[in-house]
Amino acid sequence: MSGAEAGTQPVTVLETPIHLDYVFTPGIAQSIFLRGLARGVFLGQRCPTCGKVYIPSRGSCPVDGVATDEVVELPDTGIVTTYCVVNVPFAGQAVEIPYTCAQVLLDGANISFMGLIQEVPADQVRMGMRVEAVWVPPDELGPSLASVKYFRPTGEPDALYESYEEYL
Amino acid sequence: MSAPARRPVAVVSFAQARNVRREASRNEVELLMPVVSEVFAAIGASKDDMGFICSGSTDYLVGGPFSFVTALDAVGVWPPRAESHVEMDGAFALYEAWVLMQEGAIDAALVYSFGRSSPGDVTEILALQLDPYVTAPLWPSPVALAALQAQALIDAGEATEEELAEVAARNRSAARANPNAQVVSDASPEELLADEYVVAPLRRHALPPITDGAAAIVLAAGEKAREWRERPAWITGIDHRIETHALGCRDLTRSPSTALAAERAGLFEGPPVDLAEVHAPFAHQELIVRRALELGDAVTVNPSGGALAANPVMSAGLIRIGEAAARIWAAESERAVAHATSGPCLQQNLVCVLDASDGAVVGGGA
Ligand SMILES: [Zn+2]
């Protein structure tokens, strides 16, 4: 064994930092949704084959594989189909715990998306609860879900389980 | 050892997106959806006819996880259907579909691939396919690695810079007839030699373009194939082989994996092919692959313009199979060979032999 080899140690750990930059292309359909958020409206898209309304649409109906060409403006109101109460603090948390994240099914939509539920104690959030979107002030609106500050209860009677069981 | 008889399976439909440098507005699903529609419409088939769906793509291109799952939205998979994915060029997805069809349970399969190289830096992304301990941390660009290979070929006296220019000129001139091509040119080899070096000995013309694209193929067996296509392109043999990831352990001037795949696919048995679609992203790689496939001067090579005219990563290999098959449907070829590659410097290679007659179905796989 040479002197150099005798003085070396075997490599047991190798760090190889990797960093890649990307330019994200949301696509035609998601761009419509994002531009809607910048105006303070929810824009979904309807499948010409099955009639289902997706929000946000990724451009095609995942059932039929056809383009969802028809743009549908949806109301700010909907129902909580399911939810979870966050009790665990984590780095970068922007909301005081406990808080509630819910799947919100907008009226007229056939798919739910995630939203924050506020103006109600976490232990009072329930499946079927009617909610409405609270938007950020007009000058803060942008092409991002951050335009939706949160959802809050409307006080209307809860939706019947049968009306949303398909979306769980 | 004689290869066992194979079930006749043919390429019966092929579609591709127009190859472009940057698909600025559409996402992957929106890019793929019209291609899938077209591949079905061309033969009057639908997704409901497909017993299997197999795709080839890589999440590294889009920069997000499970992009191959969302891509299924372009097909529509309700009611649920058998589906698979390979993190490789779509040509290798076609191989998986072909293997499944050999079992005899399904008569038709959809194969597709997609990739947009424009969202990220494709030279950095391709560096990540290298061995992660010794080579990848150096972040060598694929152009630099290809240049080492080209220089080795020149040093061995098996290529000249003039020959690289001839390959580029011929491919990009042939691409004039390809409406989906991205780079076409009538420049002569002499004119091309005035290009600057990108990485010596590779000048600009010896490099592939950076391409966003997608492609789809329908495979069908037996009578189903004849129902959909009057003159199906029968896969008489298909095989793929891989070489070590250690670049320093390879003779980069040779492609033994291509030669072995060609042998196992039955390329060297039966009548010679009259047409070849070769997946050679860099000009000198066409010379290496031609040699491994033992292509004579009578063989028409890359009538589509090949990967020098459009190189959509993950689709360029599948497109070679589609382009070769289309020539058989059109009776412009009796027997053709399509080649697909993956990995650095032709590391992995697939060879697919296509025939106007299904009588020659003998080779393939082992
Ligand atoms: Zn639908």
**CATH number for the domain that contains residue B215:** 3.40.47.10
Q: pLDDT category, B4, cuts 50, 70, 90?
A: low
Average pLDDT of chain B?
A: 95
Q: What percent of chain A has pLDDT over 90?
A: 82
Domain count along chain B:
1
Residue B120 and residue A21: Cβ atoms within 8 Å?
Answer: yes
Q: What is residue A158's DSSP assignment?
A: P
Distance A64 CA to ligand 1 centre (A): 5
Q: Looking at the domain assignment, is residue B217 inside a domain? A: yes
Q: Looking at the domain assignment, is residue B107 inside a domain? A: yes
ipTM of the complex: 0.85
- Which residue type occupies B262? A
User: Tens of pLDDT along B254-305?
Assistant: 999 999 999 999 999 989 999 999 999 999 999 999 999 999 999 999 999 9
Question: B115 lies in which domain range?
Answer: 9-121+210-228
Partner B contacted by A91 (CB < 8 A):
no
In the predicted structure, residue B363 carries a pLDDT above the cut 50: no
User: DSSP of B86-137, one letter per residue?
Assistant: ESS-HHHHHHHHHHHHHTSS-SEEEEEEEEESSSS-HHHHHHTTS-TTTTGG
* Confidence (pLDDT) at B1: 39
User: Tens of pLDDT along A101-130?
Assistant: 999 999 999 999 999 999 999 999 999 999
Distance CA B260, CA B270 (A): 17
Distance A70 CA to ligand 1 centre (A): 12
Q: Looking at the domain assignment, is residue B87 inside a domain? A: yes
CA dihedral A118, A121, A124, A129 (to 10 degrees): -10
* Confidence (pLDDT) at B77: 87
Taking Cα atoms as reference points, which of A100, A87, A96, A95 lies closest to residue A126? A100
Distance A53 CA to ligand 1 centre (A): 9
* Confidence (pLDDT) at B366: 40
Distance from CA of B118 to the nearest CA of A (A): 8
Q: Across-strand partners of A73?
A: A43
Distance from CA of B79 to the nearest CA of A (A): 8
Distance A52 CA to ligand 1 centre (A): 6
User: Tens of pLDDT along B7-37?
Assistant: 999 999 999 999 999 998 999 999 999 999 9
Residue A60 and residue B29: Cβ atoms within 8 Å?
Answer: yes
Using CB atoms, pick whichever of A14, A23, A67 lies closest to residue B133.
A14
In the predicted structure, residue A96 carries a pLDDT above the cut 90: no
- Please state, as a whole number, how many other Cβ atoms lie within 10 Å of the Cβ of residue B194: 11
| Cis ω for the linkage preceding A137 (within 30 of 0) | no
Q: Between the CA of residue B176 and those of A58, B182, B186, B211, B325, what are the distances in Å?
A: 35, 10, 8, 17, 19
End-to-end Cα distance, chain A: 67
**Exposed (0-12), middle (13-18) or buried (19+): which is B233, by Cβ within 10 Å?**
buried
Q: Between the CA of residue A40 and those of A33, A76, A107, A117, B359, what are the distances in Å?
A: 10, 9, 16, 18, 65
Q: What percent of chain B has pLDDT over 90?
A: 92
User: Tens of pLDDT along B291-350?
Assistant: 999 999 999 999 999 999 999 999 999 999 999 999 999 999 999 999 999 999 999 999
* pTM, two decimal places: 0.93
Q: Looking at the domain assignment, is residue B36 inside a domain? A: yes
Partner B contacted by A166 (CB < 8 A):
no
